[in-house]
Amino acid sequence: MTDYENIPVEKLLEAYRTFKSPVYVYEEAKILRQCDRVLSSLKDLPVKWLYAIKANDNPFIIEAINKKGIGFDTVSLEEVILCQAFTDNPADIFYTENSMTDEEMERAVEAGVVLNIGALSRLEQYLKHPKTKECCIRINPAIGDGHHAKVNTGDPESKFGIRIGLLKDAVDLAAKYNKKITGIHAHIGSGIKEPENQIAAMKVMLELSEEFPDLRYINFGGGMPTPYRKADREFNIERFAELARQLLTEDLKKRPNGFEYFFEPGRWFVAEAGYLVTSVTTVKDQVETVYLGTDTGMHHLVRPPLYEAWHGVVNLNKMEAPHDQLYTVAGNICESGDILAFDRLLPETEIGDVLAICDAGAYGMTMASQYNRRSLPAEVMITENGELKCIRPRLTADETVERFLKDCGYGG
């Protein structure tokens, strides 16, 4: 029997039958529950929550989270433009730049969104701009964390943020142009292991904040993890809130003119709500390894090859059968690295069985590509009242290629 509980097996199979395979399926109720958990955690303090839409930018998901009163955290001009479809208030959109171009800066200034700048060279360009008055800077707090080295963004040598040794220069630059740094930000990594690590970075930020005379807010970033392996401990949001409350309550005493604190998780809201449903197309015994070949792969869920990420896999047709066969679940991309799960104990599996790759709601579809010119999967929401709603239809193989040729301007 599978260890996986609370999987909506019948709904996933219904989604498979209705929308075909592969298909991403999301549980709306779980997304909304995650929103409620953070919203209630620090509600007595001037804390605002933003959703890092890079985790999953399906418009129906952005809308559901935003309706809960959660703002938008973006990392590209394209994400900013996408969020403008949901709000007329540019102050709701926080834009953390990363190697931004002049044109992107111009658009951000025009749009009036909150721009968060992570390099002195870009800060100077911004401060020089005749239409700017104030900004936020991204600090590298020299405390990094995350589920993998590739998502550790607070390491002192990472490409992100202005390092602590240059903060005085940032303050001087703002003074030179007679402008104000009103916000500071740090995001130390994705999948922070323990609440205490996030708290340590918050302490550094609160200390550094004393160097900024015009400060009105601090954004402490995102990074709340997901327990992908069932043995992983869940991030203790209550413990985190208790520790954060002590820090922020103390800090507020120094801020008589009002202040705001932001957090911007992405994965937290959506990871556990999502499943990538796929069917088994091949069973192949290579002596040491028995592969289950599927109709999806790294082009739809790149986390396993990119970060050696672990996702639970279940056979939806045989949830109660003994899990006594060792399989490696492979994708259909022409790359040896296209493996979604190594060495899993599953029930005896046959061609046509339907698998669900669990906890795939974050950094799944947003990182998907059409490598090998493959079509993208459909996306389906199990709504709060249990209906299946298609939130992005799939294109057929013919339509995918037709659109590609058209996008390239090739042919008639």
Residues near ligand PLP, by CB under 6 A: 52, 54-55, 73, 75, 96, 187, 190-191, 221-224, 264-268
Instruction: Assign 3-class secondary structure to 120-155.
Output: HHHHHHHHHCCCCCEEEEEEECCCCCCCCHHHECCC
Least gap, CB of 138 to ligand PLP (angstroms): 8
**Contact yes or no for 170/151 (Cβ under 8 A):** no
Bin 221: left if φ > 0, else alpha if -120 < ψ < 50, else beta: left
Least gap, CB of 216 to ligand PLP (angstroms): 20
Instruction: Assign 3-class secondary structure to 243-301.
Output: HHHHHHHHHHCCCCCCCEEEECCCHHHHHHHEEEEEEEEEEEECCCCEEEEECCCCCCC
Least gap, CB of 320 to ligand PLP (angstroms): 34
**Contact yes or no for 299/88 (Cβ under 8 A):** no
Least gap, CB of 148 to ligand PLP (angstroms): 11
Nearest residue (CB) to ligand PLP, 204 versus 395: 204
Enter the DSSP assignment of 186: -
Burial category of 55 from C-beta neighbours within 10 Å (exposed 0-12, middle 13-18, buried 19 and up): buried
Whether residue 393 is preceded by a cis peptide bond, meaning omega within 30 degrees of 0, is no
The Cα 182–Cα 94 span in angstroms is 13
The Cα 269–Cα 49 span in angstroms is 11
Least gap, CB of 363 to ligand PLP (angstroms): 7
Least gap, CB of 187 to ligand PLP (angstroms): 4
SS3 397: helix
Inter-helix orientation angle 237-252/195-208, to 10°: 10
**Contact yes or no for 55/363 (Cβ under 8 A):** yes
Residue 116: φ, ψ to 5°: -115, 115
Q: Which residue has the tokens 């739809």?
A: 300
The Cα 201–Cα 42 span in angstroms is 18
Least gap, CB of 102 to ligand PLP (angstroms): 21
Least gap, CB of 234 to ligand PLP (angstroms): 15
Nearest residue (CB) to ligand PLP, 21 versus 158: 158
Tokens standing for residue 360: 């795939």
Least gap, CB of 185 to ligand PLP (angstroms): 8
CA atoms within 13 A of residue 339's CA, in its CB half-sphere? 15
Nearest residue (CB) to ligand PLP, 75 versus 280: 75
The Cα 270–Cα 189 span in angstroms is 17
Least gap, CB of 10 to ligand PLP (angstroms): 30
